[in-house]
């Protein structure tokens, strides 16, 4: 490690220590000690900024303001509650004293436009999710607690949740459903993408993103591929990633949040074992989103067939490849679900399977479909498609052309990580 990298590492550790002790003093009502620790954290963060050539001035300001308020013997939450009431209505952003993004100048406008591109439309509801009942329950509970403003100090909500599990198991779907159910502004970023596309600018983007999210509260910020910031502790991380990591940590620590702001940060990873430990510690709630069991798989299959207007035709036993799978299966969906679970299919694999089966049914019922294009594309608009039911041969063919995407040995790794770091309610 070079001298500079070493100094940055030490400063980062000092910042972490001061911040954590500030939070602890504050939660235990020791205002003066908390004020001193916030002031230390501000000073260290300013030094860290200088050493790593990054710009977290607004976070330094937040920490300094928190220190001042506590030093006067005031309570941070009370202070913001009071200051939100006067005219203006929207209240301070998570940046508090910092300027809101897009404060009129051109750079700001550009940044604002960029932020808006992170806003995703979502009409997803909980009904679009098959299974994952425990996960849904945990998330709804966390959201409910986080959203209720009027609660004793000792009752704290979780505003940061980490979802981990194999790819294609519904993590993005869950985040969309949370945002949809709260009617919240939904920000979606893929960290890997952000890092490669906005090289050098990424950390500014992260700060602006969180400020905008607070402005447009209630918001859900979904940070996908949070493991892209791996390896920081080994010193093999490049400067951009390091800066982004620092900024993300600082934003997650945002102390000076208006009491009316509700920003739920959901992060997702397919490789939790690569997570930076500082990131891991910022997400006290870590929820395993596993491969579907038979009940969940049955629902997922229904969502992608029956709920879309296409049912099945045939005895359940005709849809399996092993007679064992037909035992206790009272519907074709359940028989197919058992087969999927036996083969380790993810939700996404099942969606692909259903789509292939539906396609096979359509081809079987409309053998002349391609020729119609040659005849007259215009006439196609009024052509009525023959839609039948999915039959065993459609499913057999779909199984032959799709396969599980996850090697079996990887599944155990998620359970091991869950045992060590996952949270239970
Ligand atoms: P992840 O974020 O875990 O990689 P996604 O949420 O993007 O996975 O899921 C990919 C697709 O797979 C979804 O759009 C959906 O069609 C399907 N899918 C995955 N899990 C489920 C589920 N539990 N219920 C319904 N569909 C699912």
C-alpha distances (whole Å) from 36 to each of 96, 235, 258 are 20, 30, 22
Q: Whose CA is nearest to atom 12 of ligand 1?
A: 348
Phi then psi dihedrals of residue 57, to 5 deg: -55, -40
Cα radius of gyration (the chain): 25
Residue nearest atom 11 of ligand 1, based on CA coordinates: 348
Total residues belonging to the chain: 425
Q: Is the CB of 288 under 6 A from ligand 1?
A: no
- C-beta atoms surrounding 57 within 10 Å: 13
The predicted structure's pLDDT at residue 210? 86
Pocket probe for ligand 1: among 130, 133, 139, 168, the residue whose CB has the most ligand atoms within 8 Å is: 168
CA atoms in the 13 A half-sphere facing the CB of 301: 26
Distance 383 CA to ligand 1 centre (A): 32
Amino acid 2: pLDDT:
63
- 168 within ligand 1 shell (Cβ under 6 A): yes
**Ligand 1 atom 23: the closest Cα is on which residue?**
130
CA–CA separation, 56 and 244 (whole Å)? 11
Sequence-distant (6+) residues with CB within 8 A of 406 are 166, 167, 168, 291, 344, 346
Q: Best of 348, 350, 353, 355 to mutate for ligand 1, by most ligand atoms within 8 A of CB?
A: 348
Beta bridge partners of 7: none
Report how far residue 308's alpha carbon sits from residue 269's, in angstroms, rounded to the nearest whole number: 30
Q: Is 225 in the pocket of ligand 1 (CB under 6 A)?
A: no
What 8-state DSSP symbol labels residue 405? S
- Are 92 and 84 in contact by the 8 Å Cβ rule? The answer is yes
Could you tell me which of 160, 279, 278 has the C-alpha nearest to residue 220? 160
Q: Confirm or reject: Cβ of 170 under 6 Å from ligand 1.
A: yes
Distance of CA 424 from the midpoint of ligand 1 (Å): 23
With CA atoms as reference, report the closest residue to 316 among 112, 301, 400: 301
3-state DSSP assignment of residue 266: strand
Q: Output the pLDDT for position 415.
A: 93
Q: What is the pLDDT along the chain (425 residues), one digit of tens a residue?
A: 566 777 877 888 788 788 888 878 887 888 899 899 989 988 988 888 888 777 777 778 878 888 888 888 887 766 655 554 332 222 223 333 333 333 345 556 666 666 777 888 778 889 999 999 988 888 888 777 777 777 777 776 678 899 999 999 999 999 999 888 877 889 998 888 777 766 667 777 888 888 888 888 888 899 999 888 765 455 556 777 777 888 888 888 875 555 567 788 999 999 999 998 888 988 888 999 999 999 999 999 999 999 999 999 999 999 998 888 888 889 999 999 999 999 999 999 999 999 999 999 999 998 888 877 777 777 777 778 888 999 999 999 999 999 888 887 888 999 999 999 998 65
Residue whose CA lies nearest to ligand 1 atom number 19: 347
Residues 98, 76: Cα–Cα separation, whole Å: 16
Global confidence as pTM: 0.74
Quote the CA–CA distance of 417 and 406 in Å, as a whole number.
17
Task: Please tell me if the CB atom of residue 173 comes closer than 6 angstroms to any atom of ligand 1.
Answer: yes
Bond from prior residue into 218 cis (ω within 30 degrees of 0): yes
Give the whole-angstrom CA distance, residue 337 versus residue 34.
54
Contact 325, 371 (CB under 8 A): no
Residue 172 near ligand 1, beta carbon < 6 Å: yes
Q: How is residue 69 written in tokens? A: 């308020």
φ and ψ of 219, to 5 deg: -135, 155
Rounded Cα distance, 38 and 61, in Å: 11
Q: DSSP string spanning 283-338? A: -SEEEE-----HHHHHHHHHHTTGGGT--B-S-GGGG-SSHHHHTT--SHHHHHHH
170 CA distance to ligand 1 middle (Å): 4
Q: In angstroms, what is the span from residue 322 Cα to ligand 1's centroid?
A: 26
| Ligand 1 within 6 A of CB of 290 | no
Exposed (0-12), middle (13-18) or buried (19+): which is 364, by Cβ within 10 Å?
A: middle
Find out whether 142 and 322 touch, Cβ atoms under 8 Å.
no
- Asked if residue 70 lies in contact with residue 34, where contact means CB atoms within 8 angstroms, the answer is yes
**C-alpha to C-alpha distance for 75 and 397, rounded to whole angstroms:** 65
Residue 261 CA to residue 90 CA, distance in Å, equals: 9
- How many Å lie between the centroid of ligand 1 and the Cα of residue 329? 24
């Amino acid at each position: 490690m070079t001298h500079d990298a070493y100094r940055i590492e030490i400063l980062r550790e000092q910042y972490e220590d001061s911040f954590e002790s500030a939070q602890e003093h504050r939660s235990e009502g020791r205002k003066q000690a908390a004020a001193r620790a916030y002031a230390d954290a501000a000073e260290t963060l300013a030094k860290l900024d200088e050493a790593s050539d990054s710009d977290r001035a607004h976070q330094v300001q937040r920490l300094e303001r928190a220190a001042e308020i506590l030093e006067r013997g005031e309570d941070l939450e009370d202070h913001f509650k009071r200051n939100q009431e006067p005219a203006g209505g929207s209240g301070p952003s998570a940046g508090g004293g910092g300027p809101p993004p897009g404060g009129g100048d051109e750079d700001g406008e550009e940044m604002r436009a960029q932020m808006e591109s992170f806003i995703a439309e979502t009409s997803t509801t909980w009904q679009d999710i098959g299974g994952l009942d425990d996960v849904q329950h945990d998330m709804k509970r966390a959201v409910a607690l986080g959203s209720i403003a009027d609660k004793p100090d000792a009752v704290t909500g979780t505003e940061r949740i980490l979802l981990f599990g194999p790819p294609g198991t519904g993590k993005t779907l869950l985040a969309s459903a949370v945002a949809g159910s709260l009617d919240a502004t939904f920000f979606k970023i893929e960290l890997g993408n952000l890092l490669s596309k906005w090289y050098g600018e990424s950390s500014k983007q992260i700060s602006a993103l969180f400020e905008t999210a607070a402005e447009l509260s209630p918001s859900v910020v979904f940070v996908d591929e949070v493991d892209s910031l791996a390896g920081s502790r080994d010193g093999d991380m490049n400067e951009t990633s390091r800066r982004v990591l620092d900024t993300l940590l600082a934003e997650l620590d945002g102390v000076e949040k208006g009491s009316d702001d509700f920003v739920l940060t959901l992060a997702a990873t397919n490789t939790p074992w690569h997570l930076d430990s500082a990131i891991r510690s910022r997400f006290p709630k870590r929820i395993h989103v596993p491969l579907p069991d038979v009940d969940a798989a049955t629902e997922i299959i229904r969502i992608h067939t029956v709920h879309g207007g296409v049912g099945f035709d045939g005895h359940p036993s005709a849809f399996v490849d092993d007679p064992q799978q037909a035992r206790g299966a009272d519907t074709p969906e359940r028989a197919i679900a058992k087969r999927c679970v036996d083969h380790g299919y993810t939700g996404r694999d099942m969606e692909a399977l259903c789509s292939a089966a539906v396609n096979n049914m359509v081809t079987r019922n409309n053998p002349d479909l391609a020729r119609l294009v040659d005849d007259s594309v215009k006439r196609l608009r009024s052509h009525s498609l023959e839609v039948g039911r999915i039959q065993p041969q459609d499913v057999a063919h779909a199984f032959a052309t799709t396969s599980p995407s996850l090697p079996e040995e990887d599944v155990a790794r998620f359970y091991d990580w869950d045992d060590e770091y996952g949270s239970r309610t």
